[in-house]
Structure formats: C-alpha cells, structure tokens
C-alpha cells in the first residue's frame, strides 16, 4: 500500500500526524531489526520484546531523525544501544566457544542436523547457525554488512568506529565465521559441495 | 667440579641454541601468518569490490598463477556466498500489530534541539571556561619565574593563598545559595514528573 513511498516521505507524514503510516516502516525493517537483536539476545522471545521496544523508541524520537543518514542507519544505532543496555541489564556474558553453554548448544545443534538430513543440507540454516556461534559484535557486523546493506562508513556510524577499523573487524569476523564453519559444519559443507 | 661447570656451560649453550632456534621458528611462523593474513585481507577487498583497478588485475593474476592464492580465494568466496545466501530471521506474525498498539499510547516526542536551548549550553561552557582561565591566569601570576628550583616555583605562593578570603566572600555565598536553590527546584521538578508518570501508568 505504501510500497512506493521512501523512508523519508513516510517519516515526514508520520511527523505530520499520520501515525498509522509508521507500520510501513515497521514492516520494512522488522526482519533486519529482529535478526540484529537476536544476534545479541539469542532467545527469540527476548529478541521480539526488545525489537518492539526499539520500534517504539524510534517512533518516540522520530523528530530527532534529521535525515543526514539513511533511516536504517539511524534505526540500527538505536538497535545497538538498546541491545547493549539489554545485555548490561541481563548481565549476559558474550558467547564464547569455550563456555559450557555454547558447547551444549553445539552438541544439540549437531545432533539436530544429523537427525534431519534435509535440514542438514540447508546452506541457509548452516550459515545462520554458524553466525549464531560468533560473539554478538562479530555477528552484528556481518549482519549489518551482508543483510542490512550498510556500507563500512555507515557501520562505523552505528558502532562508533572509523571505517578502517570496521573493515578490519569485518575481516576478522568473516575469518572466525570461516573457522566455525570448517570446525563444526564441515560435513554439511561437503554435502552442499557434493550436490 | 670441573665436570659440573662443563655441564652447566653445555646446558646453557644448548638452551641458547634451542632458544635461538625457537626464535627463528617463531619469526618464520609470524612472517608466514602475516603473509597469509595479508593475502586474505587483499582477497576480501577483491571479493567486496573494494580493490582499485590495479590491485584488482594484480589479484586476478595471482589467482590465475598461484595455487595458494587460488585455493584461498575459492575458500573465501564460498564463505562470502554462504553469508549472502543466509536468510534473515523473522519475528511473529503479530509483530507490526503489537508495535502499532504500543505506539498508539505515545506521541512523537519533540526534537531534542527544540527544547534544549543552545544558548544555555554555551553559557554553561563559557562560565566554566572563564573559571578555568581565571584560575590558570591567577596561578601563573603567582609563579616566581626567576627561581630556578622547579620544586619551589609554585608551592610557596600557593601556600600564601588565603582560601578563606574566597569562601567568606558575600558574592561567593550568594552564588552557592543560588545554586542550592536551583538544585532543589530541579529535584522538585524531577520528583513531580516521576509522580505524574506513575499516576499515568496506574
């Protein structure tokens, strides 16, 4: 219905009082926001609640969006700050491959994969699982770059770093992802290659 | 005794040799890792399309001629394509509805720039700047530059400073009183707003 409108057009109309138009922005960005939040929270229920809060926050401070950057970049900045606050509140430790919880999760994931051959052949599922094993910062940078189509400069604005630093972080994140895929999903990778 | 000395010398020599060997190995490993890292960084730039025209053709040549580069390129490309092919996670079907129900309770808050008066911020900054500058000018004015002993440059004059003169001053007392009153007013406003919010929520 509002597919033809740009983000900035929607925002200016929302600011003029057409509150219902904000739903178009929610529809447009909910998957990106939810994916980014899930990289931090790991629990879907928490991610859904936090994503809702993020959209409410974005709506309330919409007048502060000056249009200097893309709306998505501005929104992902709110995502990042909200996720960091959430983690601080919950006192969650960043996932590390060495901790027990992750190893248990990994075992479950591996057995789940083996139990279902169709699922084990899904490249999408495998990559998502591997991204889930990264620490939240790495996972977020990869998601922002590949899925949210943010440039290195824009990611720099979101995480508060120079583009060159972002580039190095992205290289490292991809390197770690490659290692995880080789270590835990080599079987699936070979199957995919064999198809 | 002589034999003991010989053993110690022999042991030390062998330790030194092992250590130097270790150093050489470490250096080689480190060089090797750097080369590998450099190769991967350059390949990632190439895959991302961030490499310049010259760099691009140089990398293409390396991929064509060098087996190591070719193998690493295909590995990285596979990771790149895998990430690209991954899907976004989706929230529940009711997500948009839930958000819209939630925001129906609120209004868009006025832009921060509209209610934060920049003149006040500049005024506060100016006040502190003047205070710091005044203090610095006064301090430097007290320094005895002719004195060569660095330890005695400031301390004797600062000891002479009569702090009581400043804090017994009527203007200073008035300034402190005004600040206290302003602080109490701010606290009252904050508590009042909190009370209003609580009333709204229940």
Higher pLDDT among residues A124 and A28, named by residue: A28
The residue ranges of every structural domain in chain B are 2-85, 117-161, 170-202
Task: Identify whether A2 is part of a domain.
Answer: no
> Distance from B126 to chain A by nearest Cα, in Å?
26
Interval A130-144 mean pLDDT: 90
Task: Identify whether A95 is part of a domain.
Answer: no
State whether residue B75 sits within 8 Å of chain A by CB.
Answer: yes
CA dist A102 to A92, A110, B110, Å? 13, 12, 44
How many CA atoms, within 13 angstroms, populate the side-chain half-sphere of residue A49? Answer: 7
Q: Note the pLDDT tens digit of each residue in A60-98.
A: 999 999 888 899 999 999 999 999 999 888 765 555 544
Residues A78 and A110 in one domain: no
CA dist A29 to A140, A143, B18, B105, B108, Å? 15, 13, 60, 21, 19
Q: Note the pLDDT tens digit of each residue in A25-51.
A: 999 999 999 999 998 888 899 999 999
CATH of the domain at A65: 1.10.1740.10
Question: Tell me, what's the pLDDT at A113?
Answer: 44
* Listed residues A32, A65, A90: the one ending a domain: A90
ipTM confidence score: 0.75
Question: Tell me, what's the pLDDT at B3?
Answer: 57
| Residue numbers of the domain that contains A133 | 100-194
* Listed residues A60, A90, A120: the one ending a domain: A90
Which token pair is A41?
């929270």
Residues A74 and A125 in one domain: no
Give the torsion sign (CA, B183, B189, B195, B201). Answer: negative
> Distance from B127 to chain A by nearest Cα, in Å?
28
Distance CA B16, CA B21 (A): 8
Q: What percent of chain A has pLDDT over 90?
A: 47
Distance CA A9, CA A4 (A): 10
Q: Which of B75, B86, B92 sits opposite A127 (nearest CB)?
A: B86
Q: Which of A35, A60, A181 sits opposite B79 (nearest CB)?
A: A181
Residues A82 and A164 in one domain: no
Which token pair is B64?
């064509």
CATH of the domain at A155: 1.10.10.10
**Mean pLDDT of successive 10-residue stretches along chain B, which has 202 residues:** 56 56 55 69 88 90 92 90 85 93 88 75 88 85 69 58 68 84 90 80 60
Task: Identify whether A178 is part of a domain.
Answer: yes
Q: Of A47-56, A132-141, A146-155, B80-89, which range is least confident?
A: B80-89
Higher pLDDT among residues A192 and A27, named by residue: A27
């Amino acid at each position: 219905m509002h597919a033809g409108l740009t983000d900035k057009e929607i925002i200016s109309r929302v600011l003029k009082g057409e509150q219902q138009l904000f739903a178009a922005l929610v529809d447009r960005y909910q998957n990106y926001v939810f994916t980014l939040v899930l990289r931090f929270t790991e629990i879907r229920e928490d991610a859904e609640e936090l994503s809702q809060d993020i959209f409410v926050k974005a709506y309330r401070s919409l007048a502060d969006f000056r249009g200097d950057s893309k709306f998505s970049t501005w929104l992902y900045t709110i995502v990042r700050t909200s996720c960091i606050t959430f983690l601080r509140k919950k006192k969650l430790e960043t996932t590390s491959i060495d901790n027990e919880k992750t190893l248990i999760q990994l075992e479950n994931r591996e057995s789940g994969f083996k139990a279902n051959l169709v699922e084990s052949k899904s490249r999408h599922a495998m990559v998502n699982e591997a991204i889930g094993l990264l620490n939240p910062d790495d996972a977020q940078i990869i998601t922002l770059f590949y899925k949210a189509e943010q440039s290195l400069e824009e990611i720099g604005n979101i995480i508060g770093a120079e583009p060159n630093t972002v580039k190095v972080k992205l290289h490292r994140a991809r390197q770690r992802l490659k290692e995880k895929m080789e270590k835990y999903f080599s079987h699936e990778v070979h199957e995919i290659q064999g198809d | 005794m002589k034999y003991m000395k010989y053993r110690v010398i022999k042991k030390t020599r062998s330790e030194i040799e092992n250590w130097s060997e270790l150093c050489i190995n470490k250096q080689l490993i480190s060089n090797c890792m750097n080369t590998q890292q450099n190769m991967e960084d350059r390949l990632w730039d190439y895959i991302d399309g961030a490499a310049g025209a010259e760099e691009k053709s140089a990398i293409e040549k390396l991929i064509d001629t060098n087996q190591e580069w070719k193998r690493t390129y295909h590995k990285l490309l596979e990771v790149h394509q895998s990430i690209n092919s991954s899907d976004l996670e989706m929230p529940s079907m009711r997500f948009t509805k839930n958000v819209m129900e939630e925001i129906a309770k609120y209004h868009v808050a006025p832009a921060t720039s509209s209610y934060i008066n920049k003149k006040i911020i500049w005024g506060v900054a100016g006040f502190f700047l003047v205070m710091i500058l005044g203090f610095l000018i006064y301090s430097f004015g007290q320094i005895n530059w002719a004195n060569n002993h660095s330890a005695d440059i400031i301390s004797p004059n600062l000891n002479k400073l009569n702090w009581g003169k400043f804090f017994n001053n009527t203007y200073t007392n008035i300034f402190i009183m005004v600040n206290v009153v302003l602080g109490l007013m701010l606290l009252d406003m904050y508590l009042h707003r909190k009370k209003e919010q609580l009333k709204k929520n229940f």
